[in-house]
Amino acid sequence: MAATAGQVIVCKAAVAWEAGKPLVLEDVEVAPPQKMEVRIKILYTSLCHTDVYFWEAKGQNPVFPRILGHEAGGIVESVGEGVTDLAPGDHVLPVFTGECKECAHCKSEESNMCDLLRINTDRGVMLHDAKSRFSINGKPIYHFLGTSTFSEYTVIHVGCLAKINPLAPLDKVCIMSCGFCTGFGATVNVAKPKRGSSVAIFGLGAVGLAAAEGARVSGASRIIGVDINPSRFEQAKKFGVTEFVNPKDHKKPVQEVIADITDGGVDRSVECTGNIDAMISAFECVHDGWGVAVLVGVPHKEATFRTHPGNFLNERTLKGTFFGNYKPRSDLPGVVEKYMNKELELEKFITHKVPFSEINKAFDYMLKGESLRCIIRME
C-alpha cells in the first residue's frame, strides 16, 4: 500500500448526489492526507440510521454531493505530516467524534466531548485547510462526520481513529465505531444500573438493543423494551429484554404505564429514538428519589424538551450522553479487547451482509425495519 503514499488514489465511492436518491457508485479521486490526517483503506463499513437520517435530510441541513458512512473498519494506507501514533498497516476504527488529547474535555476524566473534533454534521471539509479530499473531475465531493466510509479509501483526522488489535475481525468490530458503543456505553458508563435493578429501553433498534445488552451485562433483573413496532419484540429477547410495552396499546401516557407495572417507576431508563415525546416519557418514567434517565437519540433540530420542574425536585436525574461516554482513541481499543475475550457479543447485531456494489440494499433493509446492522464488504 505504501507505493501509493503521497499520490492521488482513484477508487470507487458511493456518492449521495441529492437527498433521498439512491447512492451512485462513482470513480472518485482521493487526495493524500495533509497535516494530522490519515488515509485509510476501508475493508468493511455498515449502515447506521444516522446515515439514513442525513441522506433523507428531512430534519437537518442538506449537504450534497456527499460521501456518507461512519461505521467502519480499515487499514492505514498512508499518514500525513505530524502523525506519529499511526503507521501504514495499522488496523483502525474511524469514529464520528474525536479525541485530540489536548483540550480541556480530553484531559477531563468525565468528558469525551473534544473541543477540536466533536461531531459537526454540517461540515463537509477537512479541518486543516477547509477543503475536501474527495473530487470527481475536479469538482469537490463533501465529507460526512469527518469519516465518509462509503468509499474504498477515505481521509480522516488522526484524532478520529482508534488503533485496534490487528487480530480483531473488522467485519464484526466495525459496528463498535458507532452504534454498539453508543448504546452499550449509555447504559454501563452513564446510567450505571445496579445488579437486580429495572431498566426501560426506549427504541429497540440497534442502539437500543446495545443499551439493553449493557443492562443485561450489568445484571438488571427487569429490562422493559418500549417500541411502537411489535415486530421487534421477539428479536429483543436475545439482548436480555424481559418484557415489552407498545405505547399504541395504551390510552394513557407510556410513562404512567411503566410507573404502574414497576411500583412507581424504573430505576434507570435509556432513550434511543430521538423522538422528543419518547425523551420526555423516558425521564418521567424513572422512580423518584433515585431514578436516572439517559438520552441517546438525536432530536429534530427544532425540538424542545418540556417537563415539570417538580420531576427534578423529586430527585429524578436526567443525563445526556455522546458515543456512550467513550473516548475514541483511549477507550475503544479496550472495548474491542472485551469482544476478543468473549465478554461481549457482536454477531447477533449483524443481520445482513452485502457487497459494496449493492450498498443501496442496505438502505432498503433499514427503511423496511428489517435490519439491525448490514455489513457492507468493500472488496
pLDDT at 59: 67
pLDDT at 302: 86
Residues tagged active-site = 48-50, 70-71, 100, 103, 106, 114, 118, 178, 373
Which residues are CB-neighbours of 256 under 8 A, at least 6 positions away?
Answer: none
Q: Is the pLDDT of residue 146 over 90?
A: yes
pLDDT in tens, 64-108: 999 999 999 999 999 999 999 999 999 999 999 999 999 999 999
pLDDT at 156: 98
pLDDT in tens, 4-55: 999 999 999 999 999 999 999 999 999 999 999 999 999 999 999 889 989 9
Q: Is the pLDDT of residue 2 over 70?
A: no
Task: Spell 14-43 as b/e; 16+ CB within 10 A means b.
Answer: bbbeeeeeebeebebbbbbbbebbbbbbbb
For the residues 173-190, what does the mean pLDDT come to?
A: 97
Helix or strand holding residue 233 (H, E): helix 233-236
Distance CA 70, CA 146 (A): 8
Name the DSSP class of 131. Answer: -
Do 134 and 37 form a contact (C-beta atoms < 8 A)? Answer: no
Q: What percent of the chain has pLDDT over 90?
A: 94
pTM (2 d.p.)? 0.94
Q: Is the pLDDT of residue 1 over 60?
A: no
pLDDT in tens, 104-114: 999 999 999 99
Q: Determine the angle formed by the axes of helices 276-284 and 254-261, rounding to 10 degrees.
A: 30
pLDDT at 300: 79
Domains in the chain, start-ordered, CATH in brackets?
9-20+40-177+346-377 (3.90.180.10), 183-322 (3.40.50.720)
